[in-house]
């Protein structure tokens, strides 16, 4: 018995062998228990959500997510710290252990904060009625700016916990920030413009934009630039600052499509037949699915033809549906006019002046000679 006591109190590297044993056992138990608890919570994350208000469900789910996002190196640091409480360490070693633990803690806190931000974005996306392309497009910008703030604050708090006076550091960062802002004004302007796009959400991924003389579908909204894919296939890169300084036409926000086309009728057509044309065109358009008739009038007497202007609305914005509806209307008009013995103006090579071919921007936007 005396021998065991002597072994237990045997001095080894400044601590009794019994203290080393307790520290080692505590470290093993802690590092075994914490990963097991993490794995248990991760596996049963959805089962932990019981009956209760939605806010309680979100809080439990977020807590389980944060536990799941805890790094193994942080668990090792906690286990080492708990085990070291049984030991009397040298001041220098104690200092290095404290520095490592503080840095790992604030690193893990930053990772938790970033996971919480992503979780909030996912919850917002799930609550939306459909695919939230606006939130998806601004997600990269939001995460970038959130990362700057979170990691910056974590670094300052870590330095403050280690005894570093952060007030002079903040003052120096303020002066340095002003100098840096003056040196990179263009980059900073684009960064602020990306923040404005993320908050205001004037367009999202998949929207077709017309920016000055350029047209294309939004592929990516970054921190500095926005990338469009043109109709001819090439990629158009526009800086966010330039994008907000110009006028942008967003065809992706169309809820319906308004179409205008003209009919050139021969001057020899009887007046009674001319008077019957608006009613005939109205019947044709109203019989076409997903269309709404607006008007059909003899608006002008041209040099070689009587010009009827027809306006209708397609209740769906898809351009292919518009093209199908326009084709059906054109064929029905040809059929009806032949039955009515109404002749189109012969000055037009095809004999029919139904509508003008759309430009590339009109093709993509689906609008044709809008009024």
What pLDDT, on a 0 to 100 scale, did the predictor assign at position 353?
42
Predicted pLDDT at 72: 80
Does residue 137 lie in a domain region? no
80 and 114 within one domain? yes
Asked if residue 115 is part of any domain, the answer here is yes
Q: How many CA atoms lie within 13 A of 56 on its CB side?
A: 6
Give, for 283, the enclosing helix (H) or strand (E).
Answer: helix 271-286
With a cut of 60, say whether residue 134 has pLDDT above it: no
Dihedral sign, Cα of residue 247, residue 250, residue 256, residue 260: positive
Residue 176 has pLDDT above 80, yes or no: no
Mean pLDDT of the chain: 75
Q: Is residue 191 part of a domain?
A: no
Please state the rounded mean pLDDT for residues 18-41. 72
Instruction: Specify the pLDDT at position 178.
Output: 57
- Give the CATH number of the domain where residue 330 resides: 3.30.70.100
Within a domain: 175: no
How remote is the C-alpha of 330 from its chain's centroid? 40
Domain co-membership, 209 together with 282: no
Q: Taking the model in full, what pTM does it have? A: 0.51
Asked if the model's pLDDT at residue 349 lies above 50, the reply is no
Q: Which of 116, 117, 111 is nearest to 62 (CA)?
A: 116
- pLDDT value of position 362: 46
User: Band of the pLDDT at 308, cuts 50, 70, 90?
Assistant: very high
Residues contacting residue 364 through CB under 8 Å, at least 6 positions apart? 208, 210, 215, 217, 231, 251, 319
Q: Is residue 225 located within the same domain as residue 334?
A: no
Per the model's pLDDT, the better-predicted residue between 71 and 279 turns out to be 279
Tell me: do 153 and 85 sit in the same domain: yes
Provide the residue range defining the domain that includes 284. 257-365
Give me the mean pLDDT over the 17-33 stretch: 69
Looking at 236, 253, 270, the residue that finishes a domain is: 253
- Is the CB of residue 218 less than 8 Å from the CB of residue 233? no
Higher confidence at residue 168 or residue 114? 114
User: Within a domain: residue 70?
Assistant: yes
Residue 236 has pLDDT above 80, yes or no: yes
Do 320 and 222 fall into the same domain?
Answer: no
From 45-49, 56-60, 310-314, the region with the lowest mean pLDDT: 45-49
- Given 209, 224, 253, the domain boundary residue is 253
Same domain, 74 and 211: no
The number of CA neighbours under 13 Å toward the Cβ of 339 is 9
User: 261 and 247, same structural domain?
Assistant: no
The answer on pLDDT for 191 being more than 80 is no
Residue 206 is predicted with a pLDDT of: 83
Residue 172 covered by a domain = no
The answer on 247 and 340 residing in a single domain is no
Hey, is 345 helix, strand or coil? Answer: coil
More confident residue, 357 or 199: 199
Alpha helices in 70-90 (DSSP H): 72-84
DSSP of 171-214: HHHHHHHHHHHHHTHHHHHHHHHHHHHHHH----TT-EEEETTE
- Whether residue 179 is contained in a domain is answered as no
**Same structural domain, 148 and 226:** no
Share of the chain above pLDDT 90, in %: 17
7 and 119 fall within a common domain? yes
* Residue 41 covered by a domain: yes
Q: For 91-103, how does the pLDDT look when each residue is reduced to its tens digit (9 = 90+)?
A: 777 778 778 888 8
- Separation between Cα atoms, residue 300 and residue 197, nearest integer Å: 45
Task: Indicate if 242 and 264 belong to the same structural domain.
Answer: no
Q: Looking at residue 132, what DSSP letter applies?
A: -
- Residue 331 pLDDT grade (very low, low, confident, very high; cuts 50, 70, 90): very high
Q: Sorting pLDDT into bands at 50, 70 and 90, what band is 46?
A: low
Overall number of domains in the chain:
3
65 with 24, same domain: the answer is: yes
Pairwise CA distance, residues 176 & 281, whole Å? 70
Domain boundary among 225, 253, 281: 253
pLDDT of residue 144: 75
């Amino acid at each position: 018995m005396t021998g065991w006591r002597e072994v237990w109190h045997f001095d080894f590297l400044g601590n009794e062998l019994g203290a080393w044993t307790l520290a080692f056992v505590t470290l093993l138990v802690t590092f075994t228990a914490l990963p097991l608890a993490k794995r248990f919570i991760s596996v049963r994350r959805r089962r932990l959500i019981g009956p209760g208000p939605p806010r309680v469900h979100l809080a439990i789910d977020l807590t389980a997510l944060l536990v799941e996002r805890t790094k193994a190196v942080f668990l090792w640091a906690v286990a080492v710290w708990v085990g070291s409480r049984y030991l009397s360490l040298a001041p220098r070693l104690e200092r290095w252990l404290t520095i490592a633990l503080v840095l790992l803690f604030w690193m893990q806190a930053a990772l938790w904060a970033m996971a919480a931000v992503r979780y909030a974005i996912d919850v917002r996306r799930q609550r939306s009625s459909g695919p939230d392309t606006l939130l998806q497009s601004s997600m990269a910008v939001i995460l970038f700016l959130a990362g700057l703030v979170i990691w910056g604050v974590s670094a300052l708090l870590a330095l403050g916990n280690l005894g570093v006076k952060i007030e002079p550091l903040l003052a120096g960062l303020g002066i340095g920030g002003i100098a840096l802002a003056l040196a990179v004004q263009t980059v900073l302007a684009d960064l602020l413009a990306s923040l404005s796009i993320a908050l205001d959400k004037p367009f999202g991924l998949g929207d077709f934009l017309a920016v000055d003389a350029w047209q294309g579908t939004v592929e990516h909204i970054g921190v500095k630039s926005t990338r469009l894919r043109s109709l001819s296939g090439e990629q158009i890169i526009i800086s966010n600052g330039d994008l907000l300084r110009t006028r942008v036409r967003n065809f992706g926000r169309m809820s319906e499509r308004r179409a205008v086309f003209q009919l050139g009728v021969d001057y020899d057509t009887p007046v009674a037949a001319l008077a019957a044309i608006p009613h005939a065109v109205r019947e044709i358009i109203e019989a076409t699915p997903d269309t709404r008739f607006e008007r059909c009038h003899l608006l002008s007497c041209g040099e070689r033809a009587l010009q009827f202007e027809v306006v209708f609305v397609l209740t769906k914005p898809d351009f292919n549906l518009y093209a199908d509806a326009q084709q059906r209307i054109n064929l029905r008009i040809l059929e009806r006019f032949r039955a009515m013995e109404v002749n189109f103006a012969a000055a037009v090579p095809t004999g029919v002046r139904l509508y003008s071919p759309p430009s590339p921007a009109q093709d993509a936007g689906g609008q044709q000679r809008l009024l």
